[in-house]
Structure 1
Amino acid sequence: MFLLAAVLLVGLAGLYWWQQQPSRAASAPAAPAPVRVHLATVQVQDVPMWVQGLGTGEAWQNVVVRSRIDGQLEELGFHEGDMVQQGQLLARLDDRIPRAQLDLARAQLARDQIQLDNARADLARYRQLATRGAIERQVLDRQAAQVAVLEATVQADDAQVAHAQAVLDDTRILAPLSGRTGVVNYDPGNQVRMSDAQGLVTIRQIDPIAVRFMVPDTEFSRIQSALHKGGDLPVEVFDRASGESLGLGSLVLMDNQIDEASATLQLKARMSNPEQRIWPGQTVDVRLTIGQYPQALVVPDQAIQRGVDSLQVYVAEADDRVRLQPVEVGVVQEGMALVSSGLRAGERVVIDGQYKLRPGLAIEAIEGTS
């Protein structure tokens, strides 16, 4: 009886032990699910070579309009802030005195011209008489001198007429260039003097407009080399707040010295500005194109990860597993990285979800990746 109880106890203990062991199927680790990631394909393309700078818009031409004579301002032909065209009437001064002076000069010219015509007619008759010996040579010479004096008088009268006409013309102040007007410094009824430093108004030409910008002096060699190749160097200007493109133009000036204090090189671009999106005094971002990187390997810059000793990317293999690949990157611009070594065209790289990965893991490309 005792032996039977012992056997039964051992059997129950063995059964309990067996039930406590996990099954073989349960003890085998399950394969991890593929990690869902975004992929991008390594592309080969020509990439522009840029130099970035910070610039300021300024008028292409800037003119302070001043009167060339003193006079009372009668009327204005524009309003403050108007766009005016070259030759447009800006202001008119009181022209009564200049007009009277012109009439007087013309009258003097007419009188002296009549005297000159009579003197020339007399000289012609005297010459005929002198050929027959009817008059003395002295009389002929005196008449010729009189003609010369009257000719000089008429020339002086012509100059007086031209001067009076110029003074009269100056009572009409015309726009010397096309551009936008600023603050008007005189209202009609005020006395305007040609010695006034502030002038009547300032006109700034803003189409085209100039953008003066600075780049690090380390870019000098590259810019100089690009200029020696000839042709225009394109310049694009961007709004600092939104990053929106404001206009396109070309480089027209590289300063003849480097600013030692700031270690910068000053450049100037001429920009087309038909919509007036660039304004004098506005601070803008500037991008100068000085060439291109031909047939460069390009990947989105978010694919690049910084490792302990190098930059690296996760490359998707043909079996949809990843490997960690060290790379060298030359330039990063506009969200794209130019890879100088470590990748081949057509390879797929992970651009999102790298923190979930380790070498050898299986991946699943999210729909819509390139």
Structure 2
Amino acid sequence: MRNPTKKILVLIIIVLLAVGIWLWKFPAAKKIAAPLAVPVKVATVVRQDVPRTLTGIGSVLSLHSVAVRPQVDGVLTKLWVKEGQQVKEGDLLASIDDRSIRASLDQARATLSQSQAQLQVAAVNLKRYKDLSVDNGISRQTLDQQQALVDQLKATVQGNQASIASAQVQLSYTQIRSPVTGRVGIRNVDEGNFLRVTDTQGLFSVTQIDPISIEFSLPQQALPTLQALVHGNQAAPVFAYVDGNAEDGTLLGQGQLSLIDNQISATTGTLRVKAVFDNGGQKLWPGQLVNIKVQTALQHDALVVPPTVVQRGLDGYYLYRLKGDKVESVPVKMLFQNSDLNVIEGVSDGDVVIRDGQSRLKPGSQVEILKDTPAEPLEVAQ
């Protein structure tokens, strides 16, 4: 009995030594305590004026674009302007050979002089016949015939004067003048070409660049707002951008809302709207596609936060506000929102609010503000 007992004791001692050596060489890993502070990004509530806007895509259109065509047949003798040149209304653009029309005008004037001479003689004879008719020196029939001749010659003179006026109009057509102020387009004909009235191509076009208009479409729900803007005391500002919007696009110009179309499209549920822009810098070009922003209102002294600040809960909107190193939940009222900002009520100007990391927060949670995102006021593009 002694030998087995000793063997057991020796075995137990060996096991205990082995366990001790194991624990000494491989100590138990220490548990890493979970961090108490939640890393978050913050923003500051700012008070500023916030414009209310409607956006759409529009096409730039010229207020006046004229294809210059001949009104009489003839040889193009002179072009007085170059392609791309700016011209004013009434400027001489081109000349057409006018020799044939001048000859017709001279002929009409000669015919008028002949008719006037005949009328003068007939009028003198009529006066003589009237004097003789008092004493029955001539018959009544002769007097009536002379009166008819005078009336006929008067009508002939009027016809000759109309022919002269017509020839003068035709002569004026040989001097082609600009009907509008604008920019000359690409020339389609050269000097020496024979022009016809039936030519559809024309010489070139003259397109007004400044001022210029933009036509765009907006949802039919915006009709009451647009009507109020059009009939208001102050014209609604309209902004045109290319390659983006107010945040990342290039501003091409600022205009004014001028016209709402007289009907809504039944297929798309939109209505066409037109705005007029001053275009002295010629940044807007006919046919160009642009992004449009219509300022419908301006809310003064609004409390503004980034759109990621406000959260939606079962009881409405709320946000987390920083209080020391902890956060508190604050219910807010949403007054206006878009992709850039939220206008709210329920907080104060200068409050520091959480804009990222809300999913791990609850009221009273301790937070750590990330060093690379200091609390800065929100900048809103106007």
TM-score normalised by structure 2 residue count = 0.76
CA distance in 1, matches of 2:44, 2:368: 17
3-state SS, counterpart of residue 213 of structure 1: strand
3-state SS, counterpart of residue 255 of structure 1: strand
Classify 1:267/1:222 alpha carbon distance in 2 versus 1 (closer, same or farther; 3 Å).
same
1:271 aligns with 2:277: yes
Q: 8 Å contact 1:235–1:289 — kept in the other structure?
A: yes
Q: CA deviation at 1:361?
A: 4.6
Let me know the Cα RMSD of the aligned residues. 3.4
Of 161, 164, 169, which residue of structure 1 is paired with 2:164? 161
Q: CA deviation at 1:328?
A: 4.1
Q: 8 Å contact 1:73–1:93 — kept in the other structure?
A: yes
Aligned partner letter, 2:173: D
CA distance in 1, matches of 2:222, 2:159: 62
Classify 1:154/1:107 alpha carbon distance in 2 versus 1 (closer, same or farther; 3 Å).
same
1:315 aligns with 2:321: yes
Aligned partner letter, 1:297: A
Q: For 1:86-97, list aligned pairs within 5 A.
A: 86-97=89-100
Q: 8 Å contact 1:42–1:349 — kept in the other structure?
A: no
Partner residue, 2:44: 40
CA distance in 2, matches of 1:305, 1:145: 98
Partner residue, 1:82: 85
Of 240, 247, 256, which residue of structure 2 is paired with 1:250? 256
CA distance in 2, matches of 1:52, 1:351: 29
Partner residue, 1:22: none
1:73 aligns with 2:79: no
Aligned partner letter, 2:260: M
Of 200, 214, 217, which residue of structure 2 is paired with 1:211? 214
Q: CA deviation at 1:333?
A: 5.0
Classify 1:126/1:103 alpha carbon distance in 2 versus 1 (closer, same or farther; 3 Å).
same
Moved more, 101-110 or 136-145: 136-145
1:50 aligns with 2:50: no
Aligned partner letter, 1:62: S
Q: Deviations over 1:221-268 (max 9, x none)?
A: 433454465653332212225523222222232223333443432211
User: How many pairs are equivalent?
Assistant: 336
Partner residue, 1:338: 343
Q: For 1:191-210, list aligned pairs within 5 A.
A: 191-210=194-213
Q: 8 Å contact 1:226–1:291 — kept in the other structure?
A: no
Of 111, 131, 135, which residue of structure 1 is paired with 2:134? 131
Partner residue, 2:306: 301
Partner residue, 1:174: 177
Q: 8 Å contact 1:186–1:200 — kept in the other structure?
A: yes
Q: Deviations over 1:85-114 (max 9, x none)?
A: 111111111111001110110111111112
3-state SS, counterpart of residue 278 of structure 1: coil
Identical aligned pairs, as a percentage? 35
Q: CA deviation at 1:52?
A: 0.7
Q: 8 Å contact 1:85–1:175 — kept in the other structure?
A: yes
Aligned partner letter, 1:239: V
Aligned partner letter, 2:201: Q
Q: 8 Å contact 2:77–2:191 — kept in the other structure?
A: yes
Moved more, 60-69 or 299-308: 299-308
Q: CA deviation at 1:312?
A: 4.6
3-state SS, counterpart of residue 206 of structure 1: coil
Classify 1:93/1:189 alpha carbon distance in 2 versus 1 (closer, same or farther; 3 Å).
same
Which ranges in structure 2 are unaligned for 5 or more consecutive residues? 1-32
Q: CA deviation at 1:271?
A: 1.6
Q: CA deviation at 1:117?
A: 1.6
